[in-house]
Amino acid sequence: DIQMTQSPSSVSASVGDRVTITCRASQGISSWLAWYQQKPGKAPKLLIYAASSLQSGVPSRFSGSGSGTDFTLTISSLQPEDFATYYCQQANSFPITFGPGTKVDIK
């Protein structure tokens, strides 16, 4: 199975800050990586697929990069509605595996 790790596990930030979250796969997955945002009591919401493609309707302040084993999600200017938990997921093969999550909260 492909193991996914994320760092940091949590980050405190202010509105307007630039936030970067890193995801690493235990083996190369090319660009088969997705990022999700989850708010309390809600289902995960897809933000980025294929490592860097923005899902329809997602604000352009979200961006993704990377390939192989190392990936990054960047929020260019944090907005109040962005405080949430973010997960990466390898979309290369079964079993689907997720990173442990990164909680973005208010400083």
Partner 1 sequence: QVQLVQSGAEVKKPGASVKVSCKASGYTFTSYGISWVRQAPGQGLEWMGWISAYNGNTNYAQKLQGRVTMTTDTSTSTAYMELRSLRSDDTAVYYCARRLQIAAAGTTLGYWGQGTLVTVSS
For the chain, the straight-line distance linking the first and the last C-alpha, in angstroms and rounded, comes to 36
Distance of CA 28 to CAs 33, 73, 101, 106, Å?
Answer: 11, 18, 20, 34
Q: Return the structure tokens found at 3.
A: 């193991």
**Position 37 contacts partner 1 (CB under 8 A):** no
Distance of CA 95 to CAs 46, 67, 90, Å?
Answer: 19, 19, 9
Residue number with CB closer to partner 1 (38 or 65): 38
Residue number with CB closer to partner 1 (36 or 71): 36
In the beta sheet, which residues pair with residue 6?
Answer: 23
Residue number with CB closer to partner 1 (17 or 38): 38
Scan residues 47-66 and list those touching partner 1 (CB under 8 A): 49-50, 53, 55
Q: State in angstroms the smallest separation of the CB of 82 from partner 1.
A: 19
**Position 43 contacts partner 1 (CB under 8 A):** yes
Residue ranges in contact with partner 1 by CB under 8 A: 31-32, 34, 36, 38, 43-46, 49-50, 53, 55, 87, 89, 91-101
